[in-house]
Amino acid sequence: MAFCRLPESPVPQGKFLEEGQGPQAADKLANGVRTDKRAWDLASRLYRLEGFRKSEVAVHLRKNNDFSRAVAQEYLSFFQFGGQSLDRALRSFLQALVLSGETQERERVLFQFSRRFHHCNPGLFSSVDSVHTLTCAIMLLNTDLHGQNIGKSMSCQEFISNLNGLQDGGNFPKELLKALYWSIRSEKLEWAVDEEDTARPEKARSSPLGGKMSSPFLQPALDPTGPTYKQGILARKMHHDVDGKKTPWGKRGWKMLHTLLRGMVLYFLKGEDHGPEGESLVGQMVDEPVGVHHSLATPATHYTKKPHVFQLRTADWRLYLFQAPTAKEMSSWIARINLAAATHSAPPFPAAVGSQRRFVRPILPVGPAQSSLEEQHRSHENCLDAASDDLLDLQRNLPERRGRSRELEEYRLRKEYLEHEKTRYEMYVQLLMTRLHCPSDDLDLWEEQLGREAAGPQEPKPSLKKSHSSPSLHQDEAPTTAKVKRNISERRTYRKIIPKRNRHQL
């Protein structure tokens, strides 16, 4: 896993408040203006959990406005990280709140943590950005080492190499990176839970979200206010786990589930009574939801055991099989899942910065896009052009046939990924183009228009026909004759079979 070079600080310049030595500094000054006491009061209540749960704290710290930044800074002023290592301080911080929200929102909270740690330990790192970069790298390292990924986990040397040049243009001390690596490897980061969840038995409190996606950076954005695209009964089968690893035999069974596609998440619920839009569905889920961001649904032509089966390839390369009751319903589910993915999938992150040569599929953003349909269509067209150019360049630089097996495997993985990306963006562009030209917002009418475009009149391609020497001969293609293999006894002549032991007598 390569680490991305982080963008500019999520907090604008000039918005910082001067750090105090403790929570008593309620009358601190920032640029000569007295800090809003409301921010300190709210931060104090959040820290002491007065009227709030741990899962509700991050909501007030992650917003992109001045008041939320002031609350986050006041909240972090209650933590004393002096004399602690970065991983120890991060562990204690993650036990105080549930780090939730979109990727940008989590990074805002982690940036405030980095500012506080740098203030408490001014001599350890050269800048706040260096602490923030290393904090995000630790979070991703935890996912790589303790998540359900295929293949070999990141080594200590790879962790060090991926962070080359990311400390304000220089390198982090190797001994520091080694200590952080082995600390995370020996003990994974634990996420905070609410007290009422802790009081319940472990089986009862195991949320559908807490299994395979234990890292908050990989959880789908559960937006109860998202539009509902489709719902109905589907049979589901897990075919491949994360990164394309084959699902164990005992976990491949079919399950009949009531499925709801809302926003860019597939929910699997107890029944059809799921409440109105805007209401949370967490208490009604019977299985882990599936995020359809950057996913692609296609007919499962390779699966012939059941009819009306389609497959869903997700952003983390999992593969699900779904069986619909009819062929029409299968086509409808495929179209609407791909439409939801094309509408809400945010543009991918920039290319990762790292020294490793092995191919790693990039982590695609989980949060929904904030663009219009026209902007999404242009963005997907640009991604389609980029994927097509990369695939063409890859095919021009074929590996040697007698090359190392690792190079051949790298080429195969890159080609498979680029072909999938090209197909995915082609589908997104086509669906959004039809959506933009549809005169109504009714998805049923959009499906009808999509079907008419797919079944439109196709002009026959001009081709050359085989000429015959005589104009009286019929110009149609001559019927093919099948060759019949005769038994040896039906042939006119056959060779006399003589045993080996009697050949010398001839």
Task: Return the CATH number at 96.
Answer: 1.10.1000.11
- Same domain membership, residue 134 and residue 38: yes
Domain boundary among 259, 291, 326: 326
Domain-ending residue, one of 286, 311, 326: 326
* Whether residues 176 and 41 fall in one domain: yes
The bridge status of strand 228-240 relative to strand 290-291 is: unpaired
**CA proximity to 287, closest of 254, 335, 263, 316:** 254
The encoded tokens of residue 77 equal: 């002023």
Helix and strand numbers, DSSP H then E, in the chain:
14, 9
Per-position b or e across 294-315, b if 16+ CB within 10 A of its CB: bbbbeebeeeeeeebbbbbbbb
Give CA–CA dist 352/363, Å, rounded: 9
Domain that holds residue 131: 29-186
144 within some domain: yes
Burial of 424 from C-beta contacts in 10 A (0-12 / 13-18 / 19+): buried
Whether residues 66 and 165 fall in one domain: yes
User: Is the entire prediction scored with pTM above 0.85?
Assistant: no
Tell me: do 101 and 161 sit in the same domain: yes
**Does 179 lie in the same domain as 69?**
yes
11 token code pair: 């907090």
From the list 348, 381, 383, 384, the residue with the least C-alpha distance to 366 is 348
Q: Is residue 172 located within the same domain as residue 257?
A: no
Q: What contacts 346, CB < 8 A, 6 or more positions away?
A: 293, 365, 367, 368, 369, 370
Write out the chain's pLDDT in tens, 506 residues: 555 444 444 444 334 443 444 444 434 444 443 457 889 999 999 999 888 888 888 889 988 889 999 999 999 999 999 999 999 999 999 999 988 877 788 889 999 999 999 999 988 898 999 999 999 999 888 888 887 554 577 889 888 988 988 888 888 999 999 999 999 988 888 877 766 554 444 444 444 344 444 445 556 666 767 888 999 999 999 888 887 778 787 777 888 889 999 988 898 887 665 555 545 565 567 778 898 989 999 999 999 999 999 999 998 888 999 999 999 999 999 999 999 999 988 888 665 544 455 677 777 777 788 888 899 999 999 999 999 998 999 888 888 776 677 788 888 888 999 999 999 999 999 999 999 988 778 888 888 888 888 776 555 545 444 444 444 444 444 444 444 455 544 445 545 555 555 545 54
Are 67 and 161 in a shared domain? Answer: yes
Q: Domain count of the chain?
A: 2
